[in-house]
């Protein structure tokens, strides 16, 4: 059977790498095992294209088994991605690999090596191939190549050249649409400068401006139907070394003679594109529901009112007046709590150049989940770097973030920012005792949320905060130890790898989880009950350990049953059980290792 091109590439990828002297002894053995695994993966992948049906189905079954094996998943993901970016992968194999890829971790396939213009042209030719699989393969490989800075501009220029060629075949433009859009978006988002393009003379800029201002019929760009001159001038505005010249030529042409309304509007649109701008995004429920585009220094009037920002950079924007925001400075690039809607936030973006404005439009088409992830990450760093307590609206805003991200931020915050009480509309870090007794603290509110919805992502910071006792102590009006309750609730709901060790460490702790309450649940007894349940000891078995369930509201709020010890010595029964169990587990592990050896 002839090996397909994609298999040859996979086999090349699996060849030994590194220096000849690298790897002796254990390292050499480990390297050999890795190479054996890669070669085995490559051979199983090759069987997907076998002539015999039984061989193909057997290969697919083995690949699914590999995808469920932890040590194999990453190398398998790389091999699958390598095959998917090869145009020679057949349509049938490609569909099977795409389905398999969904069960694998993301593949960190290295950027492409230097690629020649002839190779790029060959791939673009294949976008018109009769074979659907060949077209998919070429498109997939071109997308991968766009991850390499050196390939972005050559791919974009070649695709655009094909689209603007007079001899473009009917229907050919649609076959290049997606690659063109991705190539242009990748170029606008990259740092590729003017040196990657051929130089542009002032006479060429003037020619495009004259054509755009002409009332005669004009050449059009096939993907959008707009004047080709507008497409070319926008690209020139995106090049820093050309932007000022293009804007000057547009303004001079507009002043020189009266233009037809349509021509004047076309030139005015590009002149506006060259002006500093910004956007205000409105997010609610994890979705970007509205984007307000504004020119800096120019009031924008809408049905709701007037929005006017007179200055902005990548850190701060100054609002003169707004529909929802009052006058003042606001941070840029992070989530801003909506002043009246607890379930919404704003996100301000600085767009000082035509290139950044056009790049934003491409980015805004991307998946909302990825955009939200980036906003949340920047917001977390901003709030933590600020080094001061959260405001009430910021606390409410956190509930809109993906639960893992919000949990991770909460843990980091608890371990790094001092606790204080919350007042109506303001914070009082040095609040008098009577205020502390009647109002919750920032740490308390964060931990209350973690107790009901938080995940293990909060655990490193949360446990550090508990060990250092960073939360304000409970009071008569706020009697819960929310930090301990949060950790216990996550231990039961979303246990982390070292949860048993932490629960065992808490077993001797006799402090109450609710202060000032008779027969309150205890930290140690509740931790002991969770630990015992994780190892099959539930219900009546707890009587043997002298652990008593408490009639308390923990179950309704946190999904927990609170427990207390029958006596101050009861915890020792649990400790002896755990030591015995841990010893047995260690003995079994040693025996298994000896049997294996």
pTM of the model: 0.80
Residue from 198, 235, 203, 228 nearest 214 by CA: 228
Helices and strands, counts by H and E, the chain: 25, 12
Contact (Cβ atoms closer than 8 angstroms) between residue 187 and residue 231: no
Per the prediction, the chain carries an average pLDDT of 85
Number of Cβ within a 10 Å radius of residue 118: 8
Residue 27 has pLDDT above 90, yes or no: no
Query: What confidence category does residue 256 fall into, taking pLDDT thresholds of 50, 70 and 90?
Result: confident
- pLDDT more than 90, % of the chain: 50
- Structure confidence by residue, pLDDT tens digits, 75-130: 888 888 878 877 777 778 888 888 888 888 887 777 666 788 998 999 999 888 88
Residue from 502, 493, 395 nearest 453 by CA: 493
Residue 32 has pLDDT above 60, yes or no: no
How much is the pLDDT for 23? Answer: 44
How much is the pLDDT for 334? Answer: 97
- Structure confidence by residue, pLDDT tens digits, 209-243: 999 998 876 789 999 999 999 999 999 999 999 99
Six-digit token pair at 166?
Answer: 């007079």
Per the model's pLDDT, the better-predicted residue between 157 and 439 turns out to be: 157
Residue 594 has pLDDT above 50, yes or no: no
Contact (Cβ atoms closer than 8 angstroms) between residue 297 and residue 320: no
Mean pLDDT (whole number) for 26-48: 70
Query: Out of 314-323, 345-354, 474-483, which region has the weakest mean confidence (pLDDT)?
Result: 474-483
Contacts of 363 (CB under 8 A, 6+ apart): 185, 189, 371
How much is the pLDDT for 545? Answer: 86
Query: Out of 34-43, 273-282, 556-565, which region has the weakest mean confidence (pLDDT)?
Result: 34-43
User: Please, what is the Cα angle at 248 between 246 and 252, to 5 degrees?
Assistant: 120
How much is the pLDDT for 112? Answer: 67
Residue 16 has pLDDT above 60, yes or no: no
How much is the pLDDT for 586? Answer: 53
How much is the pLDDT for 531? Answer: 94
How much is the pLDDT for 19? Answer: 37
Six-digit token pair at 364?
Answer: 């805004």
Number of Cβ within a 10 Å radius of residue 47: 19
3-state DSSP assignment of residue 567: coil
Residue 412 has pLDDT above 80, yes or no: yes
How much is the pLDDT for 194? Answer: 59
Query: Out of 77-81, 278-282, 390-394, which region has the weakest mean confidence (pLDDT)?
Result: 77-81
How much is the pLDDT for 466? Answer: 95
How much is the pLDDT for 409? Answer: 97
Query: What confidence category does residue 520 fall into, taking pLDDT thresholds of 50, 70 and 90?
Result: confident
How much is the pLDDT for 10? Answer: 42
Q: How far apart are CA 37 and CA 42, in angstroms?
A: 9
Beta strands 328-331 and 335-337: pairing type?
unpaired
How much is the pLDDT for 43? Answer: 81
How much is the pLDDT for 331? Answer: 97
Contact (Cβ atoms closer than 8 angstroms) between residue 478 and residue 472: no
Residue 434 has pLDDT above 70, yes or no: no
How much is the pLDDT for 448? Answer: 92
Mean pLDDT (whole number) for 475-480: 84
Query: What confidence category does residue 519 fall into, taking pLDDT thresholds of 50, 70 and 90?
Result: confident
- Structure confidence by residue, pLDDT tens digits, 503-518: 999 999 999 998 887 7
- Structure confidence by residue, pLDDT tens digits, 288-333: 999 999 999 999 998 878 999 999 999 999 999 998 999 999 999 9
DSSP state of 73: H
Mean pLDDT (whole number) for 268-294: 95
Mean pLDDT (whole number) for 187-200: 81
Distance (Å) of CA 448 to CA 171, 194, 564: 59, 54, 21
Mean pLDDT (whole number) for 22-32: 49
Query: What confidence category does residue 450 fall into, taking pLDDT thresholds of 50, 70 and 90?
Result: very high
Q: What is the total residue count of the chain? A: 597
């Amino acid at each position: 059977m002839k090996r397909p091109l994609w298999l040859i590439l996979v086999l090349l990828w699996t060849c030994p790498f590194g220096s000849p002297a690298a790897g002796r002894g254990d390292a050499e053995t480990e390297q050999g095992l890795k190479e054996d695994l890669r070669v085995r993966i490559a051979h199983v992948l090759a069987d997907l294209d076998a002539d015999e049906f039984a061989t193909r189905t057997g290969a697919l079954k083995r690949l699914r088994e590999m995808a469920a094996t932890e040590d194999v998943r990453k190398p398998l993901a790389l091999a699958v991605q390598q095959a998917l970016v090869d145009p020679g992968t057949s349509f049938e194999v490609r569909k099977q690999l795409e389905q398999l890829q969904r069960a694998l971790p993301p593949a960190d396939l290295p950027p492409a090596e230097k690629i020649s213009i002839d190779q790029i042209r060959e791939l673009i030719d294949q976008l018109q191939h009769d074979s659907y699989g060949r077209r998919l393969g070429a498109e997939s490989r071109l997308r991968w190549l766009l991850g390499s800075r050196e390939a972005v501009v050559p791919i974009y220029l070649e695709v655009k050249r094909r689209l603007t060629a007079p001899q473009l075949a009917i229907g050919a433009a649609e076959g290049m649409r997606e690659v063109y859009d991705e190539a242009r978006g990748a170029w606008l988002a990259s740092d590729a400068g003017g040196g990657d393009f051929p130089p542009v003379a002032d006479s060429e800029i003037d020619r495009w401006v004259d054509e755009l201002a002409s009332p005669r019929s004009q050449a059009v760009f096939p993907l959008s139907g707009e004047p080709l001159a507008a497409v070319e001038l926008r690209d020139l505005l995106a090049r820093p070394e050309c932007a000022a010249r293009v804007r000057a030529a547009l303004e001079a042409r507009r002043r020189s003679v009266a233009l037809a309304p349509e021509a004047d509007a076309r030139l005015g649109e590009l002149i506006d594109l060259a002006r500093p701008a910004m956007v205000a995004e409105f997010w609610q429920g994890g979705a970007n529901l509205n984007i307000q585009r504004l020119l800096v220094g120019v009031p924008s009037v809408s049905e709701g009112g007037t929005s006017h920002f007179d200055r902005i950079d990548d850190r701060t924007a100054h609002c003169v007046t707004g529909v929802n925001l009052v006058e003042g400075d606001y941070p840029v690039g992070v989530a801003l709590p909506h002043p009246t809607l607890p379930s919404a936030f704003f996100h301000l973006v600085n767009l000082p150049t035509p290139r950044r404005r056009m790049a934003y439009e491409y980015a805004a088409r991307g998946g909302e989940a990825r955009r939200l992830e980036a906003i949340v990450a920047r917001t977390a760093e901003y709030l933590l770097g600020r080094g001061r307590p959260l405001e009430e609206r910021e606390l409410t805003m956190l509930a809109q973030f993906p639960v893992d991200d919000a949990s991770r931020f909460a843990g980091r915050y608890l371990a790094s920012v001092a606790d204080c009480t919350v007042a109506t509309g303001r914070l009082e870090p040095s609040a008098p005792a009577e205020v502390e007794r009647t109002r919750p603290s920032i740490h308390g509110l964060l931990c209350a949320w973690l107790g009901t919805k938080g995940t293990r992502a909060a655990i490193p910071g949360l446990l550090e905060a508990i060990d250092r006792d960073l939360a304000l102590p409970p009071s008569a009006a706020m009697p819960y130890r929310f930090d301990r309750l949060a950790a216990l609730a996550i231990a039961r709901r979303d246990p982390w790898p070292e949860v048993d060790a932490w629960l065992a460490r808490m077993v001797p702790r006799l402090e109450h989880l609710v202060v000032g309450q008779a027969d309150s649940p205890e930290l140690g007894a509740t931790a002991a009950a969770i630990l015992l349940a994780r190892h099959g000891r539930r219900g009546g078995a707890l009587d043997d350990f002298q652990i008593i369930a408490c009639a308390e509201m923990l179950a309704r709020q946190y999904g927990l049953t609170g427990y207390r010890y029958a006596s101050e010595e009861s915890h020792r029964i649990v400790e002896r059980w755990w030591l015995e169990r841990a010893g047995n587990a260690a003995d079994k592990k040693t025996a298994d290792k000896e049997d294996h050896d």
